[in-house]
A and B are shown apart, each in its own frame.
With several copies, the nearest count.
Chain A
Amino acid sequence: MKLVYFAWVRERIGMAEETVDPPRSVETVADLLGWLRTRGDSYDIALGESGAIRVALDHDHADHDASIAGIREVALFPPMTGG
């Protein structure tokens, strides 16, 4: 599963993308965020305010309770400020 990060999520984690293989117990976006936070301080700092983290699954906006089964690309980013 490919993870892509944007804006301050990217800066805090310290990379723009990576490929991960989470354990089977990680079924939802919320599970994924919890698992990522165990991977190191930079993740914990980036994803700690989880209410501020927005998610897209294969380019579609999704909620934290969405299933990630079959998803190829998960994007994590702050609230958008375009327009």
Chain B
Amino acid sequence: MAHVRVAIVSEPLDITAEIERVSAGRGDIGAIVTFTGLCRDEDGRLEALELEHYPGMAENEVKRIAEQAAGRWEISDVSILHRHGKVRPGEIIVLVVTASKHRHAAFESAEFIMDFLKTHAPFWKKEHTAAGAVAWVAAKQADDEAEERWNNSD
């Protein structure tokens, strides 16, 4: 069974530390895929994103997604780290790391995890613009469709 690590944190995420944690002293990993989701500045309009989450459920749901990926692909390690609270442009919102002997398992499991995080993890983004406006980010139809495709057998 894969090593699964999940964390919902309010501090900045460190990709280097997470890769190091997964790969240090290991001779059995051939492929590591990382996905880093960053806060964009929207052409300078955005001052910050505020990430609300559902404590308790968020951890459970993210862990469930990690375990689903580990059950579906031959991966030795999976880490999912997600910020909550205020995030500034250029900072990391979400970090996914998957490791495997084989590259396709590492790629596909990371993409699966991102598609399910978007549609299943109880987080909500609110935009704070430099001009002082505040608005909830709307969910994207494209994210539902991205998740849907994993329900087909492949």
Contacts and interface: CB of A to CB of B under 8 A. Distances in A.
A80 B139 contact: yes
Interface stretch (B14-22, B40-48, B71-79, B112-120): B112-120
Size class of the A contact interface (CB-based, 8 Å):
10 to 19
B57 A56 contact: yes
Size class of the B contact interface (CB-based, 8 Å):
20 to 34
Given A6-B122, A6-B124, A7-B136, A82 B53 contact: yes
Interface string A66-83: 000000000101111111
A45 B88 CA distance: 31
A80 B136 contact: no
A82 B126 contact: no
Nearest to A4: B54
A81 B56 contact: no
Contacts of A80: 118-124, 139
Interface of B: 37, 51-54, 56-57, 60-61, 82, 93-94, 114, 117-126, 136-139
Interface of A: 4, 6-8, 56, 59, 61, 75, 77-83
9 contacts: A6-B52, A6-B124, A59-B60, A77-B54, A80-B120, A80-B124, A81-B125, A81-B138, A82-B53
